[in-house]
Structure 1
Amino acid sequence: MVERESAADIEADAARWVVRVDREGENPGLRAELQAWLAGDRRRVGAYARAEAAWTHMDRASVLAFVDMPRKAGPSLVRRRGVIAGFGALAASLAAAVVAPRLLSRRYDTALGEIRRVPMSDGSVAAINTDSVVEIAMRPRLRAVKLERGEAWFAVAKDPERPFVVESGPVRVRAVGTAFSVRKRDGGSDVLVTEGVVEVWTQGDAGPPRRVAAGQRVFAENEAGGPTAPSADADLGRQLAWRDGQIVLDGQTLAEAAAEFNRYNDRKIVVADPRLANERFVGWFRTNDPEGFAEAAATTFKGGVTRGRDTIVLRGG
């Protein structure tokens, strides 16, 4: 029969976890270990909440008192219980305001065509594009965001004590108070900065991070070697029009335009004529109006449109 873990041992382990997260920062391996530990016993969630609340509110001596304690009860048991009661009482008075939003990361998924705005507890805001997955974790010394798939734009509240770091595969983007977007692609990530300055790097790269300023963009490859040099881009407003549910075309080819509409819609646009696919187009459309785009393109280039259940075929004249 397996001996049931004591409440004192759970509280001690929770304190060790809080200190480890604060000292080692946020990374996928550590996060996975913590999630596994929390899932092992429902009492651990409350213990971690109490320890984190005490740590966050600067009662760190109480938490640190656990870090070097042995797990087996001994002469120090009475002292240990006193410490548990001390930071447990402190945490209980703060739990309603502090503990619940901070226990675990929050995950946001957007469906095809959905664009979602997410306010964060620190005053920052995320706009999450179609078919994307974002995980947000607010920690005492780090605001950690993981872009698992897709694209998101962040307006970051200033907090020099807690950097805002986006993880997109091996690519990292760090900011304090700024606004920028990250789009995860095959082989790397696109970073567009609309306000302030961010630092971009790839894990495993020995070089310094690239500083990217407002009005600039950079592509950071997943392989070590560093991001490309930032370049000025006057087209950022058009590329971020998706935040308002728009697709703005300013000389893109019909093939490029069709691929953009297909990001948002189940019915896919197919440009059947290769010559038509290379024609360039200017226009403003809603992301959910692929038929309107196809009709406008067909009229402009004297072509035709064939509608199917799953496709909209754009043909040349």
Structure 2
Amino acid sequence: MNDDDAARWAVRLGEGALTSTEEQALDDWLHADERRQGALLRAEAALAYLDRGRAMADTFVEAPKDDDSPVWTRRRFLIGGSTLAGLTAASVTGFILTRPAPIEIRTALGEIRRVPLPDGSVASVNTASDVAVVMVDKRRDVRLNDGEAWFQVAHDKNRPFVVEAGTVRVKAVGTAFSVRRRDDGADVLVTEGLVEVWVEGHENQRTQIAAGSKSFVAADAKPIEVASAGNMIDRALSWRTGELALNGESLDYAVAELNRYNARKIVIDTPALGRESLVGYFRVDQPEGFGQAIEATMAAKMSIQDNIIHLSR
């Protein structure tokens, strides 16, 4: 059934933009079985091949005399069972190999990568993140399985760029924004243009976020609140250059952020010390240097035991 359903979706996608109801139906169908993404890509490849070879198509199946619609003919080919099997096995194989494959971007602990995408967009991927990108004719789909990424999206109004982070969806056409996936939702920060956010199954609650604004989108579809990001945007995205920028955040916060990047963890043994605020720029890959700075400026003590940096007072 996956191949037949994939063929129907491929035909529908080729006809133009989906309605919001259809988008949800397609999303539900894809997520119900991990094999369906591959089935859809194969069906789209077959469809594209048929569009490029109408003469070959007519050799296999004669179009009905009362309907010579290209869409009907392509549907007949794609859902024709043995016809599709023979065509994809013999003729479409070469075409499939030329299509962009799904792009898997994974970063190790402490690794930060800047990755150009086939459509001209750029993804900056933070530490310990897992991103999957699928580019097809009518859409650009990104799944943020874990971690954080910032996207500079190439403008293409005919191919929306949609990031999926659990149940959270972020849609853009041409803009720049970051998404950080959390257990209970996702942080969204917009640096250029405009994005639309919603939670899967709650499309009627779509909310727009403009440049210079941020939002935490809860996975359980709580009302989405948008706030001004003010001058914290550059600090929030300083990880792209390997830095942690602080302007009054607590030591607890700083340590939690630094621990995302390093195998050598920092532990605060004095709770009151963790509540004190910090200002400054710190390298995310130098936890010991950070500890020394805290020792020097906050009257703290640093010790290293079992490869763990302890801060106390």
Quick one: distance in 2 between partners of 1:16 and 1:287? Answer: 48
**Secondary structure of the residue that 1:123 maps to in structure 2?**
coil
* CA deviation after TM superposition for structure 1 residue 18, in Å: 2.8
Question: Which consecutive unaligned segments of at least 5 residues does structure 1 have?
Answer: 1-9
Letter in 1 for 2:76: D
**Secondary structure of the residue that 1:235 maps to in structure 2?**
helix
Structure 1 47/207 Cα, relative in aligned 2: closer, same or farther at 3 Å?
closer
Structure 1 partner of 2:45: 49
Please say if 1:314 is aligned against 2:311: yes
Q: Quick one: which of 16, 19, 22 aligns to 2:11? A: 19
Counting only pairs closer than 5 Å after superposition, residues 1-317 of structure 1 correspond to structure 2 as 15-16=7-8, 18-19=10-11, 22=14, 27=27, 29-30=29-30, 33=33, 35=35, 49-54=45-50, 64-68=72-76, 71=80, 95=95, 99-103=97-101, 105-205=102-202, 207-316=204-313
Q: Does the Cα contact within 8 Å between 2:189 and 2:215 map onto a contact in 1?
A: yes
Of all paired residues, the percent bearing the same amino acid is 42
- TM-score scaled to structure 1, two decimals? 0.78
Structure 1 301/173 Cα, relative in aligned 2: closer, same or farther at 3 Å?
same
Question: Which consecutive unaligned segments of at least 5 residues does structure 2 have?
Answer: 58-68
Q: Does the Cα contact within 8 Å between 1:173 and 1:200 map onto a contact in 2?
A: yes
Q: Does the Cα contact within 8 Å between 1:135 and 1:146 map onto a contact in 2?
A: yes
Structure 2 partner of 1:5: none
RMSD: 3.4
Structure 1 102/32 Cα, relative in aligned 2: closer, same or farther at 3 Å?
farther
* CA deviation after TM superposition for structure 1 residue 218, in Å: 0.7
CA displacement, residues 43-73 of structure 1 (integer Å, 9 cap, x when unaligned) = x987763434555x69796675242367477
Letter in 2 for 1:30: L
* CA deviation after TM superposition for structure 1 residue 304, in Å: 1.4
CA displacement, residues 135-180 of structure 1 (integer Å, 9 cap, x when unaligned) = 1011111101111111100000000000101111111111100000
Structure 1 34/239 Cα, relative in aligned 2: closer, same or farther at 3 Å?
closer
Q: Does the Cα contact within 8 Å between 1:165 and 1:174 map onto a contact in 2?
A: yes
Quick one: distance in 2 between partners of 1:115 and 1:122? Answer: 21
Quick one: distance in 2 between partners of 1:171 and 1:126? Answer: 18
CA displacement, residues 231-287 of structure 1 (integer Å, 9 cap, x when unaligned) = 343201001000111111211111111101000001110011111111111121111
Letter in 2 for 1:35: R
Quick one: distance in 1 between partners of 2:225 and 2:72? Answer: 44
Quick one: distance in 1 between partners of 2:263 and 2:219? Answer: 29
**Secondary structure of the residue that 1:219 maps to in structure 2?**
strand
Structure 1 20/310 Cα, relative in aligned 2: closer, same or farther at 3 Å?
farther
Quick one: distance in 2 between partners of 1:13 and 1:189? Answer: 31
Quick one: distance in 1 between partners of 2:5 and 2:186? Answer: 37
Quick one: distance in 1 between partners of 2:42 and 2:136? Answer: 17
Letter in 1 for 2:284: T
Q: Does the Cα contact within 8 Å between 1:205 and 1:225 map onto a contact in 2?
A: no
Q: Does the Cα contact within 8 Å between 1:201 and 1:226 map onto a contact in 2?
A: no
Quick one: distance in 2 between partners of 1:137 and 1:303? Answer: 49
- TM-score scaled to structure 2, two decimals? 0.79
Quick one: distance in 1 between partners of 2:87 and 2:6? Answer: 11
Q: Does the Cα contact within 8 Å between 2:104 and 2:132 map onto a contact in 1?
A: yes
Residue-pair matches, total: 288
Q: Does the Cα contact within 8 Å between 1:15 and 1:63 map onto a contact in 2?
A: no
